[in-house]
Amino acid sequence: MSKPDKNLIWEIFTGAKKQICVISHTNPDGDAMGSALAMKLLLKKFNHNVEVLVPNIYPDYYAWLKDADQIIIGDEQREKAVNCIQSADILIFMDLNKVHRVEGLDKYISESDSLKMLFDHHVDPDEVFKLKYWRTDVSSTCELLFEFINHFDKSLIDKDIADCIYAGIVTDTGNYFHGNITADTFRITAELIDMGINVVDINQKVYNTFSEGRLRLLGHSLSNRMEILPEFEAVIIHLTKSDLEKYDHREGDTEGIVNYGLSIKGIKISVLFIERAQYIKLSFRSEGDINVNAIAVKYFNGGGHKNASGAYFYGSIEDAISKLKQALKEI
């Protein structure tokens, strides 16, 4: 019988020194940042040469994570990013199961004959991954990573790694509010606290460091840019480029806005449209059995999870909204 992937992965991690590039997704969130940095910190303990690469800049409120300042930002440090991919023996994808989500760099990944590994909790991974530690019934990639390390040698989880793992769990569950939260999610959190993390301090850094503009943008989104579609039990919110400019938008400022739609009684779907320079970014959230991933995949070539998905639309914000309204009629 062949060995499970996790054993093969562990043999590689504990084996000969390798050049490793840890990659996560565009618009990195807490789980992308936490899982990629925790993976790097783990691999450093085995003396590998490791770098973390993300396609674009992460929000400020993750800058305190250990080694965040050493992350290669694809669209700012292109040569370093390409080199990170081309020189790697191993590419590890964290919280990211689609190569095309490493915008601008996906072609280098496809050309690379390095070993491609996946640690992730999204549905429907690409086929390129030779080794996978993958399940969708967990809160976050960080929870999966904890489980993986815990299986082999929990003593490797130091305070810095524990901080990263907590950052991923707390943000991917919306502060233990939604998603695949299980007893294990809480058990792992309790263990992280035993390992010395300070949850109040981290929550403060992640959630209580808004700029004035960010808070006012949230107010504007809800007061002036929210449309309720009672016939579909849905809410849509849209933000234009000039809205973002007016409120001095910084990366990460729109994180969480889409969730407010679901806080209205009787609303089961919330969709946020954000007009960016090259495309419209869509965020989908739903409650219960409503599968927004299916809408994201079928109509917008996106993906994610059943209750939280995203996509890009190339066209005007008006066209994106009418396409969504049409899709809601059809489902």
Q: For strand 308-313 and strand 280-286, is the pairing parallel, antiparallel, or unpaired? A: antiparallel
The alpha carbon dihedral of 74, 159, 64, 164 has a sign of positive
Q: Quick one: three-class SS letters along 101-149? A: HCCCCHHHHHHCCCEEEEEECCCCCCCCCCEEEECCCCCCHHHHHHHHH
The answer to whether residue 120 forms part of the interface with Mn ion (CB under 5 A) is no
The answer to whether residue 143 forms part of the interface with Mn ion (CB under 5 A) is no
State how far the Cα of 241 lies from the Cα of 246, in Å rounded to an integer: 9
State how far the Cα of 72 lies from the Cα of 57, in Å rounded to an integer: 9
Site string for Mn ion, 18-57 (x = CB under 5 A): -------------x--------------------------
Closest CB 142 distance from ligand 5GP, rounded Å: 13
Q: Which of 302, 307, 324, 328 binds ligand 5GP (CB under 6 A)?
A: 302
When the beta carbons of 261 and 304 are compared against ligand 5GP, the nearer one is 304
Closest CB 257 distance from ligand 5GP, rounded Å: 10
When the beta carbons of 116 and 122 are compared against ligand 5GP, the nearer one is 122
Cα three-residue angle 50-110-146, rounded to 5 degrees? 40
The answer to whether residue 172 forms part of the interface with Mn ion (CB under 5 A) is yes
Q: Compute how many other C-beta atoms are within 10 angstroms of the C-beta atom of residue 51.
A: 21
State how far the Cα of 206 lies from the Cα of 212, in Å rounded to an integer: 15
Closest CB 76 distance from Mn ion, rounded Å: 23
Residues 19-78 that bind ligand 5GP (CB under 6 A): 25
Q: Which of 51, 95, 243, 253 binds Mn ion (CB under 5 A)?
A: 95
The answer to whether residue 308 forms part of the interface with ligand 5GP (CB under 6 A) is yes
The answer to whether residue 98 forms part of the interface with ligand 5GP (CB under 6 A) is yes
Task: Number of residues interacting with ligand 5GP: please give it, by CB under 6 A.
Answer: 14
State how far the Cα of 274 lies from the Cα of 282, in Å rounded to an integer: 7
Range in contact with ligand 5GP (rule: CB under 6 A) among 86-94, 217-225, 241-249, 305-313? 305-313
By CB under 5 A, name the binding residues for Mn ion: 31, 95, 140-141, 172
